[in-house]
């Protein structure tokens, strides 16, 4: 993000209104490689192609804040890899992290990773180090420390069903796992912040929040997210595009001040659930409209979204979730034009 974009983001988070409403999209490996014209594996394994894909996006759509911006990642394998999981990388499909915990008895012996040396994390950091001069030459800076959230990592290490079952049947085992993962993620986030002093934000992604009732989340999620977001940075950004009505009232207590949701809830509903304390990034349907719709359909849904908002403070316009595969340049431009033309 440029200095100007970062200043606008900080002002949105503080509650200032903008006309037109700013536009932001989460972009990473599900969208960027194929949009740029390369395979996903090429994007992961060639630093020059990774950088050029990101540079093309910021140059093609200068009006858009791309979040977190120059995201160095290896899909869902990034954080679990440090625990020694087996990772599968098809040539042009999403990578997959295999389970490392076969039963709850394995939790106690799970190693405590070192983000400086373990798994794919050193490659994530080193890619950014190598690219940093060109990123800054393009007028941008590395702004966010990024991690999958603790519930998300637990689900990859153990399996989603198995982890949720352990929470119910063996809560002390689940607590032990969450404690280990949270300690690891704190180290990972701090390593990124120490390495890149321009970082002034944290971005965490965790969809497992959406599969928990409020009481479950208060016990197995809230304390750990509060701990992870308890850092002196200006932007505390959470992505959860699974159902969020149960957890949304806790966002401000978690420390979150920027939230990307799915599209099963309206921005107006979320403003009520969060008492308008959290800036919302969303939320036209990502696949069925932004990805598969015509430019005219994208423009109409975007216009309808803007007109539905009686209060346009603490809002950034986007899709409900990260940028999905297959979104065309035409549809992106239709979205951007609709925002500019709707008041």
Q: Which domain holds residue 180?
A: 3-341
Is the torsion defined by CA of 327, 330, 332, 335 positive or negative? Answer: negative
Write phi, then psi, for 215 (nearest 5 degrees).
Answer: -65, -40
Q: How far apart are CA 254 and CA 227, in angstroms?
A: 8
Give the neighbor-by-neighbor strand order of the sheet with 144-148. Answer: 64-67, 23-26, 315-319, 279-284, 258-260, 235-239, 201-205, 144-148
The average pLDDT across 13-40 equals 97
pLDDT at 290: 98
Position 6 pLDDT exceeds 90: yes
The average pLDDT across 276-281 equals 98
pLDDT tens digits for 144-182?
Answer: 999 999 999 999 999 999 999 999 999 999 999 999 999
Position 49 pLDDT exceeds 90: yes
Do 145 and 189 meet the contact criterion of CB atoms below 8 Å apart?
A: yes
Residues of the chain above pLDDT 70, percent: 100
Model confidence at 44, pLDDT cuts 50, 70, 90, reads very high
* Number of structural domains in the chain: 1
Residue 139: CATH number of its domain: 3.20.20.210
User: Could you tell me the pTM of the whole model?
Assistant: 0.97
Residues of the chain above pLDDT 90, percent: 100
pLDDT at 343: 80
Do 6 and 65 meet the contact criterion of CB atoms below 8 Å apart?
A: no
The four Cα atoms 12, 16, 17, 23 give a dihedral, to 10 degrees, of -10
Q: How far apart are CA 151 and CA 175, in angstroms?
A: 11
Do 269 and 305 meet the contact criterion of CB atoms below 8 Å apart?
A: no
Position 93 pLDDT exceeds 90: yes
């Amino acid at each position: 993000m440029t200095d100007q974009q970062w200043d606008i983001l900080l002002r949105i988070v503080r509650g200032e209104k903008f006309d037109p409403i700013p536009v932001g999209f989460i972009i990473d490996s599900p969208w960027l490689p194929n949009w740029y014209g390369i395979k996903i594996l090429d994007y992961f394994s060639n630093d020059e192609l990774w950088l050029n894909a990101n540079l093309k996006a910021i140059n093609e759509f200068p009006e858009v804040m791309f979040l977190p911006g120059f995201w160095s990642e290896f899909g869902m394998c990034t954080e679990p890899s440090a625990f020694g999981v087996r990772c599968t990388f098809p040539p042009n499909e999403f990578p997959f992290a295999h389970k490392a915990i076969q039963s709850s008895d394995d939790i106690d012996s799970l190693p405590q990773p070192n983000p400086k040396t373990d798994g794919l994390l050193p490659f994530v950091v080193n890619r950014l180090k190598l690219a940093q001069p060109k990123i800054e030459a393009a007028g941008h800076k590395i702004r966010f420390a990024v991690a999958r959230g603790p519930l998300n990592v637990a689900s990859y290490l153990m399996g989603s069903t198995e982890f949720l079952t352990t929470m119910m049947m063996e809560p002390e085992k689940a607590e032990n796992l969450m404690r280990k993962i949270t300690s690891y993620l704190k180290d990972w986030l701090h390593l990124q912040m120490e390495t890149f002093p321009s970082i002034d934000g944290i971005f965490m992604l965790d969809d497992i929040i959406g599969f928990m009732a409020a009481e479950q989340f208060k016990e197995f999620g809230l304390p750990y997210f509060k701990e992870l977001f308890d850092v002196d940075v200006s932007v505390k950004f959470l992505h959860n595009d699974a159902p969020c009505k149960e957890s949304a009232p806790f966002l401000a207590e978690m420390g979150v001040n920027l939230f990307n949701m799915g599209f099963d809830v309206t921005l107006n509903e979320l403003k009520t659930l969060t008492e308008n304390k959290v800036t919302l990034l969303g939320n036209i349907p990502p696949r069925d409209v932004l990805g598969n719709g015509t430019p005219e359909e994208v423009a109409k849904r975007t216009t309808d979204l803007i007109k539905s908002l009686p209060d346009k403070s603490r809002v950034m316009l986007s899709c409900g979730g990260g940028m999905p595969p297959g979104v065309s340049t035409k549809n992106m431009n239709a979205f951007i034009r609709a925002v500019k033309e709707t008041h």
